[in-house]
A and B are shown apart, each in its own frame.
Chain A
Amino acid sequence: MAHIYLTDTEGREATIDIIAGNSLMQTITDAGFDDLLAICGGMCSCATCHVYIDEGQLAQLSQMNEDEQELLSLSDYQQDNSRLSCQLRMSDALDGLRVTIAPAD
């Protein structure tokens, strides 16, 4: 089964199976990682599902829309490899994606 490698805000690592069609946010929260707050539930409205993607894998992901860019720009922890995990749909093609949960603002 395809999976992602996740690192949480305390440095703990986990391997999580991918369910195609789920968002990355859902993949992380369903696996029980509480430090991804995901307050708005995936409406691209709160920026509390902020993650960093391994830089070499960024090109595999869908492009950011304006809403995502704007929300991320408000975060104190934005980096070049920042994404909102609610905006990323999982598929088997993303097998091996390395994801780190960003600190909460």
Chain B
Amino acid sequence: MNQAIKERDYFTDHDVLLDPYAYFEEMRPRGPVCQLETHDCLLVTGFDECVEVLRNPTDFSSLNSLASSAFPLPFTPEGSDISAQLEQNRDKYIGGDMVVTYDDTRHTNIRALISLMFTPSRLKANEAFMREYAEKMVSDVVARGRCELVHEIATPYVTMVIADLMGVPAEDRSVFEEKIAEGQTVGSIDDPDSPTDMSAVLFIAEYMGRYLQERAAKPGADLLSELATASYPDGTKPDLIELISLATFMFAAGQDTSAKLLANAMRYVVDEPGLQQQLREDRKLIPFLLEEVLRLEGSSKATHRLARRDTTIGDTKVPAGTQVIVALAAANRDPRRWGEDANEFKLKRPGIKQHIGFGRGSHTCAGAPLARAEVATMFNTFFDRTDNIEISASHHGAKGARRYEFEPSFIIRGMDNLHLELQAKN
């Protein structure tokens, strides 16, 4: 007898956390756009449909992108266009004063400032620092023969790189590192009433305010100076509060996601047959590795949107006021887009650059070029300093039966820890 599978709760179920992909495959037969039973929102698992939502900022607001679709609207939507109601209620949304939730001109203005931040020439100028710092961190752990990649390498590394780029004074960097380490994850599944804690963000914002005022008075060559002296496209100057919010977000946003990407990628490098050797012999393949890992195990599982006008996704009618889970991780494994081997790792997969691991459209992750540079630098450094890297069987079990712990977040896909054994270069 057929028994209907009970729908699991994406926002709180620990089994979904361990394997979100199995959950998305359970949901996929319900269609690329389906209504959840557990929450009053739509789940979009289709690649084309996710891209359609992300590229339609006219009809879909980003106001709930951090708060998520798990909560009911804090007002009753009225009519076919609720844009004004959304703005009236912006202060009720977590992160409603951060760029990730902005819409329209306010967002365009801030993105114009961000677009200067991680250009290829700026990253190139920072290459020497990124490389030297990676060398130092990796040589220390290789000498020991092992490391816990997430906390000993990945997280402090990305904090130091963004701090250097922005021009955060050296003496304050460890303070930030500690504060970020203390903080709760974003989108915690263990705290359903208040899944995102902003205390670390508020702490950092105080420092950013001071730096920005100092740089406005005496600009240097760093990103904070550039922000402090920047203008919007129409020539007007951003106010200080807006700049503090932006600088804080840029500093804090990339921490977890970039760090998790390194760990997610390392799992494949070690466990995918022959891959480690192939990459060691041809470093030009590292960017292809990263793109395929971003597709299969991107650091953000989902983002959220809120229909502010009556609209459609594919053939599905979507009334104003509907919340939408844009399941990036599901879209990136949609067999209609990627073929029947969508769940498998395949280096140089055709069309790989079109994955939406970093999102798509006007809110595409601005730090993506930096994250790619950081993780590629780390892999090059590890390969230079070691002859072999293994995942610790005593911590994670034998190959084929690994056990991992994941950050308890419905937004982030990332391991809590990854213990490695490192064989130094002969």
Question: What is A's interface to B at a CB cutoff of 8 Å?
Answer: 20-23, 26, 29-30, 32, 34, 37-46, 48, 65-67, 70-71, 86, 89
Write the B77-116 contact mask toward A (1 if CB under 8 angstroms, else 0): 0000000000000000000000000000100110110110
B233 & A21 in contact (Cβ 8 Å cutoff):
yes
Which residue of chain A has the shortest Cβ distance to B111 in the bound complex? Answer: A42
Q: Which B residues from 359 to 379 make CB contacts under 8 A with A?
A: 359-366, 368-369
Residue in A38, A40, A48, A86 whose CB lies within 8 Å of B369: A40
In the complex with contacts A29-B55, A34-B55, A43-B119 CB distance below 8 A: yes
B119 & A40 in contact (Cβ 8 Å cutoff):
no
Complex Cα distance, B115 from A44, in Å, reads 7
- What's the least CB distance linking B363 to chain A, in Å? 7
B365 & A45 in contact (Cβ 8 Å cutoff):
no
B232 & A43 in contact (Cβ 8 Å cutoff):
no
Residue in A20, A41, A66 whose CB lies within 8 Å of B363: A41
Residue in A29, A46, A67 whose CB lies within 8 Å of B361: A29
28 A-B interface contacts by CB (under 8 A): A21-B105, A21-B109, A21-B112, A21-B232, A21-B234, A22-B108, A29-B55, A29-B361, A38-B361, A39-B364, A40-B364, A40-B369, A41-B359, A41-B363, A41-B365, A42-B362, A43-B115, A43-B118, A43-B119, A43-B364, A43-B366, A44-B115, A44-B119, A45-B118, A45-B369, A48-B353, A65-B121, A66-B121
Q: Does B58 contact A (CB under 8 A)?
A: yes
Complex Cα distance, B360 from A37, in Å, reads 9
| A38 / chain B contacts, CB cutoff of 8 Å | 361
A39 & B233 in contact (Cβ 8 Å cutoff):
no
B354 & A37 in contact (Cβ 8 Å cutoff):
yes
A45 & B368 in contact (Cβ 8 Å cutoff):
yes
Interface on chain A toward B: helix, strand, loop, or mixed SS? Answer: loop
Complex Cα distance, B369 from A39, in Å, reads 11
Work out how many contacts link A and B, with CB atoms closer than 8 A: 73
How many residues on chain B are close to A (CB under 8 Å)?
32
- What's the least CB distance linking A41 to chain B, in Å? 3
Which residue of chain B has the shortest Cβ distance to A71 in the bound complex? Answer: B120
Q: Does B238 contact A (CB under 8 A)?
A: no
| A22 / chain B contacts, CB cutoff of 8 Å | 108
B119 & A67 in contact (Cβ 8 Å cutoff):
yes
With A34-B55, A41-B361 given, name 13 new contacts (CB 8 A).
A21-B233, A29-B361, A32-B56, A37-B354, A42-B362, A44-B120, A45-B120, A45-B369, A48-B353, A65-B121, A66-B121, A67-B121, A71-B120
In the complex with contacts A26-B362, A29-B55, A30-B58, A39-B354 CB distance below 8 A: yes
Complex Cα distance, B365 from A43, in Å, reads 9
Q: Which B residues from 95 to 150 make CB contacts under 8 A with A?
A: 105, 108-109, 111-112, 114-115, 118-121
| A43 / chain B contacts, CB cutoff of 8 Å | 114-115, 118-119, 364, 366, 368-369
Complex Cα distance, B232 from A89, in Å, reads 11
| A44 / chain B contacts, CB cutoff of 8 Å | 115, 119-120
Complex Cα distance, B353 from A48, in Å, reads 10
| A71 / chain B contacts, CB cutoff of 8 Å | 120
| B354 / chain A contacts, CB cutoff of 8 Å | 37, 39
| A45 / chain B contacts, CB cutoff of 8 Å | 118-120, 368-369
Complex Cα distance, B368 from A46, in Å, reads 11
- What's the least CB distance linking A36 to chain B, in Å? 10
- What's the least CB distance linking A51 to chain B, in Å? 17
Write the B283-314 contact mask toward A (1 if CB under 8 angstroms, else 0): 00000000000000000000000000000000
Which residue of chain A has the shortest Cβ distance to B115 in the bound complex? Answer: A42
Q: Which of B354, B360, B362 has the most CB of A within 10 A?
A: B362
- What's the least CB distance linking A28 to chain B, in Å? 11
- What's the least CB distance linking A88 to chain B, in Å? 11
In the complex with contacts A21-B105, A21-B108, A21-B109, A39-B120 CB distance below 8 A: no
Complex Cα distance, B364 from A26, in Å, reads 12
| A70 / chain B contacts, CB cutoff of 8 Å | 120
Complex Cα distance, B311 from A32, in Å, reads 14
Complex Cα distance, B118 from A21, in Å, reads 20
| B361 / chain A contacts, CB cutoff of 8 Å | 29, 38, 41
- What's the least CB distance linking B307 to chain A, in Å? 16
Q: Does B167 contact A (CB under 8 A)?
A: no
Q: Nearest 4 pairs between A and B by C-beta?
A: A41-B364, A21-B233, A45-B369, A67-B120
| B108 / chain A contacts, CB cutoff of 8 Å | 21-22, 26
| B51 / chain A contacts, CB cutoff of 8 Å | 34
